[in-house]
Structure 1
Amino acid sequence: MSTITLAMIVRNEAHYLAACLDSVKDHVDEIVIVDTGSTDHTLHIAAGYTDKIYPFPWQGNFSEARNYAIGQSTGEWILSLDADERLVCPTGHLKEILSRDPRIEAYMLPLDYQINEQTGEYNRFLVLRLFKNKKEYFFTGPIHEQVVIQKKETVGQVDSLHIQHTPVSAQERNRKRGRNLTSLKKACAANPEDPFLQYYLGVEWLGLGKPRRALPLLQKAYRHLTDEHILVRAPALRYLLLCLNAMGRFDQTICLGQEAALAYPDYTDIYYLTGLALSEKQEYKLAVKWLEQSVQCGVPPAYYSHMQGSGGFLAYYHKGYCHEKLGQEAEAKACYEKALRENHRFFYPVGSLFLLLLRNQGARRAVDYFKGEKFFNHPPIALTLAEMLFALGSPGMARECLEGEVSTDSYEEILFQRGKYHIYCGDFRRGLIYFDLLPENSIFLEKVYLHKALALWLSGAYQEGRELALTLWKNPGLRPLAKVLLEISSRLQQDLTLEPKEHREGLEFTEASLLFDLCGRYLPDLPAVGCHHLKKLTGILQNRLLGATGGVSWLDEYYKDKIQGIQECFHSRFGWVKWRHE
C-alpha cells in the first residue's frame, strides 16, 4: 500500500497545529514540518508528533518553503495542509483511494472554508493537495501557490473526504490578508496581466470590505480566464456577483447573472445571487423564480466554487421573504420551515416565521407551533426565539423555549438564559440557582451580576445587593457597574428616591439605562411578587436618568419606542387604524 507524507510549512501556529495534526496522524506514514520562524510554542507542539522538523528562513515566497518540505519527504504521495486546516476522512479511506486507479497521480480535494461559524455556512472549493512525490510536481507562485499537473487525465477528484478550514479570529484574518496583499501587489507589479493574480488580489480586497478596489480586478480576471481554468473562473464569477451586490449595482448583477446562466446553467450560485439582486430591487416575482431555480439546481458540480446553502436553506430563506412581500403567507411559511429544517444552526428564519405566526395566530399559538414541530430541540432556534419573546415582554414564554435538556453545544448560554428568564418571571430562587451553575470563567459572568442584583432588589434583599456591589468593586474592570449597584442598593435600603437635581456628573449612565430597560421586562407569574420593590427601583432609576446628561432624550425615545411597538403589533394583527390622541 502506498505511503503518504504530510508536508507542512508553519509559523506561529500554536493555536491550531495540534488539531490539524490530530486529524491526519492516523492517515499518513510520515509528518514533515518546515518552520519559517516561529516564536510561540509551535515547535514544541510539532515535536509531539514528529522528529522531522526543519528550519527554513522566510524569503517571502510560499512555494520555496513548501518545495523544501517536499524535498525532506520520503513518502510516495504528498499531502499538503495548512495548520488551520483539518482532514475529515474515515480511517483507512485515504490509502484506499490511492489504490483505486494507478493512472491517477494527483487528486483534487474539497476544501470547506467556513464563513460563519455560528450558522455553519461555508464556501467549498476544489484544491489540489494530494499528489505523487515526483520531481516534476512542485509548487509555483510566491503566494496562493499551486502544483501544476500538465496531464489533466492524471488528475482525479475525491468527494468522500474533505479538508475543513478552521475559522480564525478577525485580527488574525486581517493580519494574513495584509500579508497577502503585500505579496500580491508585488507579484502583480511584476506580472500586471496575470488573471490569476488579479483574481486573488480582488478576493483579498473583497474580504477586507473594499468592493470598489476588488471590482476591476475581478472583472479583468473573469474576462481573461477561460473554461480551461474553470476552477478559478467559477469563483471569479461568484465573487464578481457578490462584489456588485455589495456595491448596490443590482442591475449589473442581474445582467451578468442572465449572461452567465446561459454559459453555466447548472451553477447554483448564479441563480441565488441574481435572485438576491432582484429582491433588493423589489422585483419579488422574478426573484422567486431565480431563487426557485437555485433550489432546483441544488449542489452544483464540484468544479464550481459553491456557497453551501445557496441551493437550499439560504435560497429558501430569501424566497420566503419574497413570498411574504407578495402577500403569499402560506408559501412564505413553508419556505421558512424548510430553511430551518435544512440547517438548524441558521437561525435567521426564526424571527420571520415567528412574526408571521404572531400576526395571524398570536404569541401563545406561535410558541406552541415551534414546540410541536420540535424546533426547540435545536439550541440556536430555541435561544433565538426565547430572546425575541423576552424582548417583546414575555419572559414566561421565553422560559418555555428552553425547558428541554441542556445541550452541550450551548450549555453556558442556556444556563444563563434560563436563569435570566426565571428571574424576570419572579422565580428568583431558581434563577439564581442556574446562575450558580455557570463556571467561574464563563463569558456570561458580567451579565449575570446585573441580573443577580436586580433579583436581589426585587426580592427585598437590599443588603445582599450592596454586598454584591462591594465584591464587584474589587475588580477594576467592573467598577462602573459596581458604582451604580452600590448607589441603588443604598437608596433602596434607606428608602430614598434620587431626585434629578442630586445627580452627579460622572455617574455611569449606560448601566442605569440598561437596568431601567430590564425593569420594564419584569412580568412575574404571580402579579404581587416584587412589585413594591419594582416601583421603588424604577423610581430611583428614572430620576437618576432625568438628571443625567442626555437622560431626558433617552427616556423620551424609550417611551416612544414602547408606544410604536404597541402600534406596530396592533397594525400587524388587525390592520392599520389611525391612533387618536385625545
Structure 2
Amino acid sequence: MISLTLCMIVKNEEAVLERILNPVSEIVDEILIADTGSSDRTKEITGQYTSQVFDFPWCDDFSAARNFLVEKVRTDYWMWLDADDVMDEKNLEKLKLLKASLDKKVDVVMMEYAACFDSTGKVTFSYYRERILKTSENFRWSGKVHEAITPTGNIFYSDIKIQHRKCTQRDPDRNLRIYQKMLAEEEKLEPRHQLYYGRELFYHQKYQETADVLEAFLEEPGTWIENRIDACMILGQCYNKLKKNDAALEAFLYSLTLDIPRAEICCEIGKIFLERKWYRQAAYWYGQALTAPSEKKKGGFFMAECHGFVPYMQLCVCYDRMGCHEQAFFFHKKASKEKPDDPGVKYNTNYFREKYGLE
C-alpha cells in the first residue's frame, strides 16, 4: 500500500470544508493545509483534521501556495483537492482501493473532474486532471492562476470522479486581475496562459480583446493540440458575439485541421448553419456530433450534452423545418429519454401531439 498526503490551499471555506475533509481524512495518511488569509472558522475546522495547518500570505500566485505544501510532503505520493470538491461514497471507496493497490511504478494518477451539472445533477462539463503524484518525481505546479502540472512518466487513468461543487460566488474578477497585473509588470504569458487569459477576457465580454489574444495564441508554434482546439472553440464563439459569423465558422473549421472533429465544435458549426436556415447543412453537422468519439483521456474539455442531448434537440428542429416530421419526432424521442423534464422537450412533446398526433 502506498502512503498518501492530501494537500489543500484554503481561504474562508467554513461552509464546505468538512464535506470533503471528513471522508477523505479516513483514507489519506497525512493532511497539509495552507491557509491564505481566512477570517471565518476555516482554521478551526482544519485543526480538527490535522495539526499541519500553515499560514501562507496571499501573493496572487496559486502555484506558490500549492508548491509551499508539496515541498513538505514526506509520503510516497500526494494528492490535491479544492475545499469545494466533493467525493461520493462510490468514489471514496474507489480511492481507498486505489491507495491499497496502486503500482508504485505509476508516477501520475489522472482523475475526471466534473465541473458543471444540470438541474438533475447530471454532469455536463468535465475533464481529466493530474490528481495523485509521486513525491520522488518532484512534480511542481506552474502558473500564478489556472495552475497545473504537466503529467509525465508512467501515467495511470483512474475511473475515480471528483465533483467541483461551488456553494458561494467567488470573486469573478480575480483571475483576470492577476493576468492583467502580470502584463502590467511586463511578465510574458507563456502560451497556455495566453489561452486562459483569452478565456477570462471572453467571460468578461471583452470580445475584440479576446479575439486578438487567441489569434496570437494560435500563431504560437508547438502548443498542445487540445489547447489549440479549445482556442478555436472560444474564438469562434467570440466572433459570433461580434456578429462576424464567417470568421466564427472559419475558427471552428480550423480546428478540424488539428484533429478529428470534436462534438462540441460540430454543434457550434451546426448552430451557425441553423441560424442561416441552412437546415440540411446544420443537420449534417449535428449528426457528426453524435458520431464523434469522447476523446476524454486526451485531456480536453468534455461537454456531455454535445454528444447527445444538444444534437438530438437540434436535429429535431432541422428535420421538422425540412418537412421531415417523422424523422424530427424520432430525434425528439431521443432527446426526451435523456432529459424528460427539460422545458424544450416538454414543448416539443405538446407540439408533436397537437400538430401531428404523434405520441
Q: Is the pair's TM-score, using the shorter chain for normalization, greater than 0.5?
A: yes
Query: 2:50 corresponds to which residue?
Result: 50
Partner of 2:34: 34
* Higher share in strand: 2
The answer for the alignment partner of 2:132 in structure 1 is 130
Helix, strand or coil: the match of 2:307?
Answer: coil
Following superposition, the deviation at residue 298 of structure 1 comes to 4.5
Gap change, CA 1:168 and 1:95, over 3 Å in 2: closer
Structure of larger gyration radius:
1
TM-score by length of 1: 0.56
Letter of the structure 2 residue corresponding to residue 111 of structure 1: Y
**Contact 2:255/2:261, CA 8 A, preserved across alignment:** no
Offset from partner CA, 1:382-429 (integer Å, 9 cap, x none): xxxxxxxxxxxxxxxxxxxxxxxxxxxxxxxxxxxxxxxxxxxxxxxx
* Letter paired with 2:207: P
* Correspondence 1:222 to 2:221: no
Task: Within 5 Å, give how 1:323-362 maps onto structure 2.
Answer: 323-344=319-340, 346-361=342-357
Identity %: 25
SS at structure 2 position matched to 1:163: strand
Q: Amino acid of the residue matched to residue 267 of structure 2?
A: Y
In structure 2, the residue matched to 1:201 is 197
Q: Which residue is equivalent to 1:104?
A: 106
Match of 1:241 in 2: 236
CA deviations on 1:209-265 (whole Å, 9 max, x unpaired) are 4433322222322332646x2343332233223333333333223223333224322
Match of 1:72 in 2: 72
Cα distance in 2 for partners of 1:162, 1:313 equals 22
Instruction: Determine the C-alpha separation between the residues in 2 that align with 1:326 and 1:130.
Output: 51
Are 2:319 and 1:320 aligned? no
CA distance in 1, matches of 2:80, 2:266: 34
Q: Secondary structure at the match of 1:109?
A: strand
Q: Which one has a larger percent helix, Structure 1 or Structure 2?
A: 1
| Partner AA of 2:288 in structure 1 | Q
SS of structure 2 residue aligned to 1:161: strand
Structure-1 separation of matches of 2:125 and 2:113:
8
Q: Deviations over 1:415-448 (max 9, x none)?
A: xxxxxxxxxxxxxxxxxxxxxxxxxxxxxxxxxx
1:203, 1:87 → 2: CA distance?
28
**C-alpha distance in 1 between matches for 2:37 and 2:353:** 58
How far residue 95 of structure 1 moved from its aligned partner, in angstroms, is 5.2
Counterpart of 2:277 in 1: which secondary structure? coil
Question: 1:119 and 1:108, CA in 2 relative to 1: closer, same or farther beyond 3 A?
Answer: closer
Contact 2:340–2:346 (CA<8 Å) still a contact in 1?
A: no
CA spacing shift, 1:213–1:119, aligned 2, 3 Å: farther
Between the aligned partners of 1:319 and 1:337, the Cα distance in structure 2 is 11
Per-residue CA deviations over 1:285-310 (Å, capped at 9, x if unaligned) read 10100100110115234223221110
Which residues of structure 2 form unaligned runs of 5+?
none
2:263 and 2:289 in contact (8 A); partners too = yes
Query: What corresponds to 1:278 in structure 2?
Result: 273
Q: Shift of residue 74 of structure 1?
A: 3.0
Aligned to 1:161: 160
Q: Secondary structure at the match of 2:136?
A: coil
> Matched residue pairs, number?
355
Q: Which amino acid aligns with 1:164?
A: Q
CA shift for structure 1 position 357: 2.0
Describe the superposition over 1:456-495 as per-residue Cα deviations: whole angstroms up to 9, x where unpaired.
Answer: xxxxxxxxxxxxxxxxxxxxxxxxxxxxxxxxxxxxxxxx
The change in CA–CA distance for 1:82 and 1:185 in structure 2 (over 3 A counts) is same
Q: 1:219 to 1:108 in 2, by over 3 A?
A: farther
- Closer, same or farther in 2 for the Cα pair 1:127/1:187, shift >3 Å? farther
Name the aligned partner's letter for residue 155 of structure 1: I
The alpha-carbon deviation at position 138 of structure 1 amounts to 1.5
The 1:270/1:155 distance shift into structure 2, 3 A limit, reads same
Q: CA deviation at 1:66?
A: 0.9
Q: CA deviation at 1:9?
A: 0.4
CA distance in 2, matches of 1:117, 1:210: 29
Contact 1:107 1:156 survives alignment (8 Å)? yes
Please list every run of 5 or more consecutive structure 1 residues that lacks an aligned counterpart in the other structure. Answer: 370-582
SS at structure 2 position matched to 1:140:
coil
Residue 24 of structure 2 is matched in structure 1 by: 24
- Residues of 1 paired with 2:139 and 2:121: CA distance? 38
Aligned twin of 2:282: 287
AA paired with 1:328? Answer: C
Output the CA distance in 1 between the equivalents of 2:271 and 2:149.
36
Whole-Å separation in 1 of the counterparts to 2:190 and 2:232:
17
TM superposition score normalised by structure 2 = 0.89
Change (3 A) 1:23 1:277: farther
